[in-house]
Amino acid sequence: MQAVAIRTFGDPTGLEVVDLPDPNPERGQALIVTEAIGVGGVDSVIRRGTLAEYGFREGHILGGEVAGTVAAVGAEVDTSWVGRRVWGFAGLGGGYAEQAVVPAESLVPLPANMSAVDAVTVGSSSVVAHFGLRHARFVPGESVLVRGAAGGIGIMAVQLAARGGAGAVAVTTSSPERGSRLRALGATRVLDRSGDAGEASDDYDVIIDVVSGVDLPSFFDRLRPNGRMVAVGVVGGNPPADFGTRMFAAFQRSLSFATFSANTVTDSDRRAVTAESLAATSRGELEAVVHEVLPLEQAALAHRKMDAGEVFGRLVLTPSGQASK
């Protein structure tokens, strides 16, 4: 089968198309013939080598979520899955391939009217956004700022906050055009990347931060008393080592900071949220925002687009012959 591997860590030129033996599912696993493969921010972080200390090595196959048809299952897996169209979670790798092995516990059937492309656009992003908001103890009526709102997770956080009854949903983004598109998805206030609206700034009860990076500490100034910031991504790199100093300088405002990783979500909770998000999308209650669909062999181009900040929504890869599904 064809797959895309990391030949060398660094820029997207280090990605290469490789031919690998067809995989076989082991106990508790399912084999999916992929129709669509989600390209996520964590893929670019892994590709750069930022997470090398977690054991990623050259030759790693990127890709955390796929959609397609179950071709085979391993021992102790219900054989009725075979032949069904599903969404599956590969974790931190294995998805950039014509066939992907995933834990059978991650499988979610696709609604009859849902494309594989829409499924990988909504799937993992909805899980991170949903549980990120829960981790922040968000309740209806509170104001939310989504920092880095133009990507898949940010767009889903905007929609879920609005759908969840937020009193206001602010976003940071890079252009007025993107701001207009985010308003159509539920944003009520558009800020530039620094968090500036060109006027007196509001404060927020909750900040969902997809970016992190060197500017993260300045956003503590945007929190109301008892405000909570949750970092759900590091697409801008890690924050400065002393980032907590800014929060402690506002000690009397009782601010909170936390990280959130979907790795802490149980399989059953991930399945339940993914299934509900796919169903809500199929009903038209959530929007799957697809930036572009590219052939699997153009994964390096997809990563260049992400690195250049060109992407609004989700980039999706499709193996040969699958682009229309």
Instruction: Clarify whether residues 136 and 30 are in a common domain.
Output: no
Contact by Cβ (8 Å): 112, 85:
no
- pLDDT of 325 over the 60 cut: no
Look up the CATH number of the domain holding residue 233. Answer: 3.40.50.720
The residue segments making up the domain with residue 33 are 2-109+289-318
Instruction: Clarify whether residues 9 and 104 are in a common domain.
Output: yes
pTM of the model: 0.93
Count: domains in the chain: 2
Instruction: Clarify whether residues 9 and 54 are in a common domain.
Output: yes
**pLDDT per residue over 49-93, tens digit each?**
988 788 899 999 999 999 999 999 999 999 999 999 999 999 989
pLDDT level of residue 323 (50, 70, 90 thresholds): very low
Instruction: Clarify whether residues 211 and 132 are in a common domain.
Output: yes
Residue 117 lies in a domain: no
The per-residue pLDDT for 198 is 56
316, two tokens: 């999706």
Residue 298 lies in a domain: yes
Residue 55 lies in a domain: yes
Look up the CATH number of the domain holding residue 61. Answer: 3.90.180.10
Instruction: Clarify whether residues 38 and 98 are in a common domain.
Output: yes
Instruction: Clarify whether residues 209 and 88 are in a common domain.
Output: no
Give me the helices (H) in the chain, please. Answer: 41-48, 116-135, 152-163, 176-184, 244-249, 267-282, 299-307
The per-residue pLDDT for 199 is 52
- pLDDT of 287 over the 90 cut: yes
The per-residue pLDDT for 322 is 59
Residue 120 lies in a domain: no
Contact by Cβ (8 Å): 257, 233:
no
Helix (H, G, I), strand (E, B) or coil at 201: coil
Residue 276 lies in a domain: no
